[in-house]
Structure 1
Amino acid sequence: MASTKPIPDLRPARLNALGAFAASIAHEVKQPLAAVALNAQACMKWLEQDPPQLDRARAALGVVLQASVAAASMVRSLDGMARQAAPERGPVIVDDMLRDVLQLLRAELRQQRVTLTEALSLDLYQLNADRVQLMQVIMNLVLNAIEAMRDVHDRPRAVQLRSAQLDGTLRISIADSGPGIPPALTERVYEPLFSTKPGGTGMGLAICRDIIQAHGGQLWSEAAQPQGTVFHLSFKEYTLWTPSRS
């Protein structure tokens, strides 16, 4: 009599995968949607002025449109990642991409009373990359920095965003003045579904590292001085951008 083996129940694994994907969508989409809400409120405020501040309202509506497009693009990007589709690569001027992300986050930075310092020096450097995915990573890291400083009241809440060419690589760094990451958790924060934040999905940094590694880059963190954490992204493959002459 032939022995029979029990058929493994694949439902828990499928449910875990579905839960992870749902958490990914929730984590990514809520960021541009927050920009939509904050800038829509700002637009209403400018329109209610007497006389209406039309230029400011128009600028806020521009961010609403940009954030809406970003949300839709991020959903498509996550869907592609779930299907293990290759990134949609194209030339991405590094500092232009960084400024687009900051435009979506200005209102959040003001609302959380966070001072932003920019030191961008990669205007003439470009990556062959998926622009939407890189924006996802930078947005995640800046929002994580803001979140890390929510309970900071004894010093300024500050985020520093830097881009530079160092030792033959392009590097982007995001630093905060929060409490920092305990050394024992430095690598664990990249594990899917692991989070140090109450109510966190534990998907942000896991997605970030997957995206950067898929682009041939590296993502890591270290302690900032005198307080906080700094996340670094580095890319070895890049080209110089030459402005076209009309």
Structure 2
Amino acid sequence: MASIKPTPDLRPARLNALGEFAASIAHEVKQPLAAITLNARAGLQWLDQHPPRVEEARAALRMVLEASTAATAMVRSLHGMACQAAPERSVFVVNDMVRDVLQLLRAELRLQCITVTEDYGPDYQLNADRVQLMQVIMNLILNAIEALRDIHDRPRTLSLHTGLDGDALCIRVADNGAGIPPALAERIFDPLFSTKPGGTGMGLAICRSIAQAHGGGLRSDNARPHGAAFHLSFKEYTLWTPSRS
């Protein structure tokens, strides 16, 4: 009589996948939610002034709306990735996308006393999922902010650069923190590996997956004389030319 093989229990694998997805959502929406909180408080403070500072309150409320829209879009994007849906591509200017992410993080950068240097090249376009690439840039900037928290012996700086690197369009995010320990350089993109206490280990793994899904790449190296740099690159791009009406 033939033996009956037991059916493998798929529940642990499903629970692990669910846990990774939940960790991804928590990681991605944390900063937009923080921006909503900060700007909502700022709006209330402006309205409590005598007389109320209505224009400043309106600006804060606009930031609340933008951050809530970004959080919703990121959750929808992560859901699509979990379901292995194709990226929702559109044509957009890379410099504008980077500026939009930076705007969402301005309050946190000011709070951490980080000076930002922006160096934008020509306005190149990508045909890509804008929300997913915003996720990547936001992750890289948040990692830089985290790397700078313990820096007290020099000014904290973050630099953003866009432009061509050889035949690829490159977005570079660099900080002047402690850098990446050589022993960990090969592991920082591994899923569930984190150098931060309480970290999910999902951020850089998601970033690289998004880059590769768009035919691009993501690499890191140590900056000079201090810090780390991350290079997000794409082979397919076009130069934006304003339409003539």
TM-score by length of 2: 0.97
User: Would you say the 8 A contact 1:94–1:122 is kept in 2?
Assistant: no
2:144 aligns to what? 145
> Is 1:59 aligned with 2:59?
yes
How far, CA to CA, are the matches of 1:160 and 1:53 in structure 2? Answer: 33
**Cα displacement string for residues 156-179 of structure 1 (whole angstroms, at most 9, x for unaligned residues):** 111101111221211100001111
2:40 aligns to what? 40
1:174 aligns to what? 173
How far apart are 1:184 and its partner, in Å? 1.7
How far apart are 1:20 and its partner, in Å? 0.3
Matched residues, percent identical?
A: 71
The letter of the residue matching 1:51 is: P
How far apart are 1:90 and its partner, in Å? 0.7
DSSP 3-state at the match of 2:188: helix
The letter of the residue matching 1:91 is: V
How far, CA to CA, are the matches of 1:195 and 1:57 in structure 2? Answer: 38
How far, CA to CA, are the matches of 1:162 and 1:53 in structure 2? Answer: 35
The letter of the residue matching 1:165 is: L
DSSP 3-state at the match of 1:92: strand
The letter of the residue matching 1:154 is: D
How far, CA to CA, are the matches of 1:186 and 1:110 in structure 2? Answer: 29
User: Would you say the 8 A contact 1:122–1:165 is kept in 2?
Assistant: no
* Superposition CA RMSD, Å: 1.0
Q: State how 1:40-189 maps to structure 2 within 5 Å.
A: 40-123=40-123, 125-189=124-188
User: Would you say the 8 A contact 1:172–1:232 is kept in 2?
Assistant: yes
How far, CA to CA, are the matches of 1:46 and 1:226 in structure 2? Answer: 42
1:224 aligns to what? 223
How far, CA to CA, are the matches of 1:47 and 1:177 in structure 2? Answer: 38
How far apart are 1:3 and its partner, in Å? 1.9
How far, CA to CA, are the matches of 1:135 and 1:122 in structure 2? Answer: 19
How far apart are 1:4 and its partner, in Å? 2.4
How far, CA to CA, are the matches of 2:75 and 2:23 in structure 1? Answer: 12
How far apart are 1:127 and its partner, in Å? 0.3
The letter of the residue matching 2:181 is: P
How far, CA to CA, are the matches of 1:231 and 1:245 in structure 2? Answer: 36
DSSP 3-state at the match of 1:118: strand
How far apart are 1:66 and its partner, in Å? 0.5
How far, CA to CA, are the matches of 1:229 and 1:180 in structure 2? Answer: 5
User: Would you say the 8 A contact 1:117–1:158 is kept in 2?
Assistant: yes
How far apart are 1:73 and its partner, in Å? 0.3
How far, CA to CA, are the matches of 2:231 and 2:121 in structure 1? Answer: 15
2:19 aligns to what? 19
How far apart are 1:59 and its partner, in Å? 1.4
How many residues end up aligned between the 2 structures? 245
1:244 aligns to what? 243
User: Would you say the 8 A contact 2:122–2:239 is kept in 1?
Assistant: no
- Higher alpha-carbon deviation: 78-87 or 150-159: 150-159
How far, CA to CA, are the matches of 1:6 and 1:190 in structure 2? Answer: 36
How far, CA to CA, are the matches of 1:149 and 1:205 in structure 2? Answer: 17
User: Would you say the 8 A contact 1:43–1:57 is kept in 2?
Assistant: yes
How far apart are 1:51 and its partner, in Å? 2.5
The unaligned stretches of length 5 or more in structure 2 are none
How far, CA to CA, are the matches of 1:223 and 1:72 in structure 2? Answer: 34
The letter of the residue matching 1:164 is: G
How far apart are 1:17 and its partner, in Å? 0.4
**Cα displacement string for residues 44-73 of structure 1 (whole angstroms, at most 9, x for unaligned residues):** 222222232222222111111101000000
